[in-house]
Structures are given as structure tokens and as C-alpha cells.
Amino acid sequence: QDARFTATNSGPWYAFAVVFKPTASDASPPSTPTVVSASPTGTSITVSWTASSDNVGVAGYSVYRNGSLLTTVDGPTLAYVDGSVGSVATYTYTIDAFDAAGNHSARSAPATVTTPDWVPPAVPGGVSATAVSQTQVNIGWNASTDNVGVAGYDVFRDGALLATVGASTSGYSDSTVSASTTHSYTVDAFDLAGNHSVASAPASVTTPAPPDTTPPASPPGVAATATSPTSVVVSWSASSDDVGVTGYDLYRDGASVGTVGRSTLQYTDTVASGSTHSYTVDAFDAAGNVSAQSAPPVSVTTPTSDTAPPSVPSGVTASASGPAAVLVTWTASTDNVGVAGYDVFRNGIILSTLSSTTLSLTDSGVTPGGNYSYTVDAFDAQGNHSAASSPAAVHVPAQIKFVQGKVATTGSRVTSMTLSLGAVAAGDLLVGWFAQYDAAGQVNVTDNLNGLWTRSSAATTWKGTAGDIALYYLANVSAAPSLTINVSAAAATYLQASVSEYSGVAASGPLDQISVNKGTSTTADSGLTGAIGAGELVYGAVVASTGPGTLAPGSTQGVNYVARAQSSSGSQGEEDVLSSVAGQQRAGYTFGTSVPWFIVCATFKAA
């Protein structure tokens, strides 16, 4: 053999050739592995064998399970742990050896092994615990399942093992408990291999209290009262018990006549008229324990039958005692046995029932402006009622309210002027203090809805017989969004007007009393009117010939006037008290400077 090379450029060279002889082919397999063993370890199987030999060298081993290749391991490894096995299963293992040339030995003799049971039973379900007495609890559960078979159950109380029972048992009676105690029970299942399930969900139970054998105390304070010829009311105070009283038994003359609950401390017994009886009471509890009967027995005699009614109440009066109240009074009735009380009626309907010692009633359910009629009857303990009294009629005055007010003056001589109010309501009182300075005749007042206003009997003049100052008023005939008042005189003169609107005033004949006065000073005083009742409107108004500045309203019967409309100069002003105190009334003002003044005080009845 030779080796040749060709170079592009000429230069020194060296060459050599070598010939190699190939190795002989390996066709010999390793020896068959021997002493193959298979043994379970926990949840796996360990397979082991002895080493094989080979003319060149063993490269590794093949592990077969049930005839199928499971894995291969390298030459030095002589064991394999199979972790893919199941519980309670049989497996057969064989081994062969192989070399680097791929030659495999024959398979070894088989090694057969069965795995142990390592699967626990299912957790017991439906665990229940029932206290059947103060000292016994019955525990029950549903059967568990297992891959091989359940061998039995462990019963735990409060976490500690209480008992172990066989697989066919699904209940256990715990007779080691005490009364009034609470326990928690769980159950697990186990098989013959000793595998235990997880403990079940707990079932809690409380045993009943021990039996109550103590009776309540005998009821104290027993009393019996004849409330009518055929009725006796028996009463007592509550008994005590170690657990609790459930009710009471009533006895008349030694025989039971009724039973009531624990919250009832009296009993009404029906008996014959004019009869005598003795009563006792006992108490009992939920366990059936009964106290001794109360002692000594209490006796009572019922009166004979009463059929005579009381006399008719006399002297019934009804008077308005406030803006929404009526005071009703009467004189006591008499009865052959005794008056038990009175019924008060308003407009024929019963209003209230009162005791025999009550001879008056304040009715606060009336409406201002309403008319009412009151009667009273008397009754006795037998339910006998007298005839109704003569009626007492009363009118509750309406509540008078100020609606609006306005003052105006011309400042120059004219024969007429107009004064406008806002929205007016039907039936409201329109009242004002009107003046003309020095023209002949009277000042005249009209409006666009009502026409001519009503002039009061009281009036005065500016100086001597010159001019005219008068109170005008009327009940507005209809509602309107506005009202225009016209004030006029027979000749050009100075005109003044002070007007107010009030609701709740009587529509017919409203003017009750009036007083007019004039003078020159720093205080204006109308003088006293005639006496009036409570609840009327007291209206005051003043005009002055020159502006005195600020007007300070006065008071009447201790009640301060409320200032209404006033002119900026103080030459005109209105004041009122909406609900009078009974008696004579007066209007008044205080000025900053002394001026001639003309003042009126008028009272109007409530509707």
C-alpha cells in the first residue's frame, strides 16, 4: 500500500502509510442473571439479581414486568425499585443481561410477588349523636367502603378513643356521659391491613339536665275580692322555683276551678249572687312538681244582685278651655250600692270612661271653629247605666291668624287714593283705620270685590268738627288674587289708610267692642273697651298728624301687641293680639316725640 499527495507549490515533504487489522466480531451474549428476587417495600417492589458474565463485558440489564419491558439499567446496577405498582396486585418480574454489541442473554427465572393493602377505607358519613337520656348518647353513621374490605370502626369522644366496633356495626351507645354535658363525637374506619380513614366530621350533643324534683314555693299574697254579685277576682304574688314556674291552679272550696299560665297572677271566678266561698292557689313547674296550696284559704261573700242604675249626672257644663280644647264638668251621681264611673259622650258618641271620683274631662280632640254637644251617664259595678244627662253645647272658637297688612298716605291733597292687597280668601275679615284730614263729611271706603265697607259706630275728627277718622270692616265675599281698596273724601284733602286681613274671624256680626281716643303726647292710649271673653282678636291702629318716628306697640291684659304694618315716618301703624285674655282691652303706642295722635282698639269674635 502507498499514500500519494500533490501540492500546488514545490517544497520539502514527508509522507507515510499505515495499515490496521480489524478486531474480530462479538456474537456471544452474556450469561443469564440468576437469583432474581422481588419483594414489596411500602408502596413499591424491589427487584434484585446476581451479576451476569460476558466474554467482552456486560453493558446492562433489562427488567420485565408481567412479560413487558419495564426499564433498563447499566451494568453495575443489580437492583431496581418499581414505584408504579398498585395495592393488592400480583406482579411477575424477569431479567436479561446485554452487552455493548447488543447481545441479550436469555431471561431469568421469574420472581412473583403480591403487594400489600395500603389503601384506607372511605371516611364514614352521616355521623350523628343523640342524647336519649341524661347518661346515654347514641352515635350512628353510614357504612364506609374499602378496596378490600372494612374491618371495623373507631369511635372517638372529644378526640379520645372511646370504642372499637366491627365492620357490620353502624352505631354505638355511650353510657359513660353525665347530665348537662356537651360532647363531640367522630368515627374512623379501618381495614385488616391496619389502614385507617380520616376521622369523620364531628357530631356534637348536649345531654339533658337531671330531672327536676323540687316543687315551686306556695303562692304568697292570695286575695279574693267580689267585683259583682256573680264575680270574684282572686289574685296572688308570683311563686319561685329552682327551674321556673309554669302556671297556677285555682281552687274554690277545695275543688279545682281553673289553671292559668305563669305570667297571669289573677283569676276571675263566676259564682252565685250572695254566696260565700274560700279560695286557695298552688304553683306547678314543667316537671309536674306542684307546690302546697296557699294557706290559709281566703274567704269572700258576693253581694246580692243590683239592678238599680245610678242617678242621672246633673250640672253638666261644657266650655272652650283653649284654642282646641273643651272642659266638661258635672255633679256626682248617687247609687244604692255605689257609682263605679261615668261615660262622657261627644255628639252622641262615647268619648271616654272615667272613674267614680272623676267629675271633669278635658277634650283635646276638638277642632277650632266647631260646635259640640256633650252628655254624661253614670254606671255602677253591675253595669247598670243611668239615662244620659241633659246636653251641654259649646262652640270652640277658631284660631285667628294674621294674613297681611298695609298702610298708605297721600302726602298731598287728593279726593281719592287706592290701596292694593295681595291674594285674599273668602270669609276673611278686612279691617282698617281710615282718615281724611279736613274735608266735609265722612271718609268713604270701598273695594273692587265687596263694594262699600261697614263703618263702625266709633269715629273721631282731626280738629273740632273738621275731617273724619273711622274704623271700617267687612267679611270678604270671595277669594281673589288681589284686592284694590278705594279711599275717598268729598273734597281734596290728605288721606290715610291702615288695612289688615285676618282669617278665623266670625263672618256674621264679628265686631264685639270698640274704643276710640285722641290726644297729643308721646304715648297713645285708646282707653278700655267693654269686657270680652278669651280667644278674640284685639286690633289696634293709630294715625298721627306728623311723623313721630319709631312706633313701639303696647300691651293689653298683660299680653304684648304684635306690630304689623307701619309707615316709615311713624304717622301710621297697626298692632294686634290674635287671642285675647278675657276682660277689658286697650290699644297703645309709644312715640319718640310728642305729636297729635288718633287711636282705635276694636275686638272681633272668633268664628
Over residues 307-324, the pLDDT tens digits come to 899 999 999 999 998 778
Work out the number of other CB atoms within 10 angstroms of the CB of residue 453.
23
Claim to verify: residue 297 and residue 341 sit in the same structural domain: no
363 and 496 in a common domain: no
Task: Report yes or no on 135 lying in a domain.
Answer: yes
Alpha helices per DSSP H over 325-418: none
**Long-range pairs for 317-320 at CB < 8 Å and ≥24 separation?**
317/392, 318/372, 318/373, 318/374, 318/392, 318/393, 318/394, 319/394, 320/394, 320/395, 320/396, 320/397, 320/534, 320/535
pLDDT of residue 1: 67
Q: 3-state class of 508 per DSSP?
A: coil
> Burial code of 534-552, b = ≥16 C-beta within 10 A, e = fewer?
bbbbbbbbbbbbebbeebe
Q: Which three cell numbers stand for residue 459?
A: 269715629
What does the pLDDT read at residue 322? 75
Residue 123 located in a structural domain = no
* Number of domains within the chain: 5
The residue type at 483: L
Tell me what pLDDT residue 21 has: 62
CB 237 within 8 A of CB 220: yes
Residue that has been written with the C-alpha cell 507549490 in this structure: 9
Residue-wise pLDDT tens digits, 178-189: 999 999 999 999
**149 in a domain, yes or no?**
yes
Clarify whether residues 290 and 168 are in a common domain: no
pLDDT tens per residue across span 40-52: 999 999 999 999 9
pLDDT score recorded for residue 20: 64
Evaluate whether residue 551 is within a structural domain: yes
Please tell me whether residues 73 and 177 are part of one structural domain: no
Contacts with 434 (C-beta within 8 Å, 6 or more apart), sequence order: 443, 445, 469, 470, 471, 472, 487, 495, 496, 497, 498
User: Is the same domain home to 54 and 193?
Assistant: no
Same domain flag for 168 and 268: no
Residue 202: pLDDT above 70? yes
Looking at the predicted structure, is the pLDDT value of residue 96 above 80? yes
User: Using one digit for the tens of pLDDT, what is the confidence trace for 52-85?
Assistant: 999 999 999 999 999 999 999 999 999 999 999 9
Domain that holds residue 236: 223-301
In a domain, 57, yes or no: yes
* Whether residue 548 sits in one domain with residue 466: yes
Q: How does pLDDT run across 449-480, given as a tens digit for each residue?
A: 999 999 998 889 987 778 999 999 999 999 99
Closest CA to 343 of 392, 379, 393: 379
User: With bands split at pLDDT 50, 70 and 90, how would you rate the model's confidence at 154?
Assistant: very high
Spatial distance between the Cα atoms of 239 and 512, rounded to a whole number of angstroms:
70
Residue 374 belongs to a domain with what CATH number? 2.60.40.10
325 is a domain residue: yes
Give residues with Cβ within 8 angstroms of 207, minimum separation 6: 131, 133, 134, 135, 137, 177, 178, 179, 180, 181, 182, 183
> Same structural domain for residues 196 and 238?
no
The verdict on 476 and 547 lying in the same domain is: yes
Average pLDDT over residues 141-164: 97
pLDDT digits (tens, 9 = 90+) for 381-420: 989 999 999 999 999 989 999 999 999 999 899 999 999 9
Note the pLDDT of residue 19.
67
Residue 31 lies in a domain: no
Would you say residue 17 lies in a domain? Answer: no
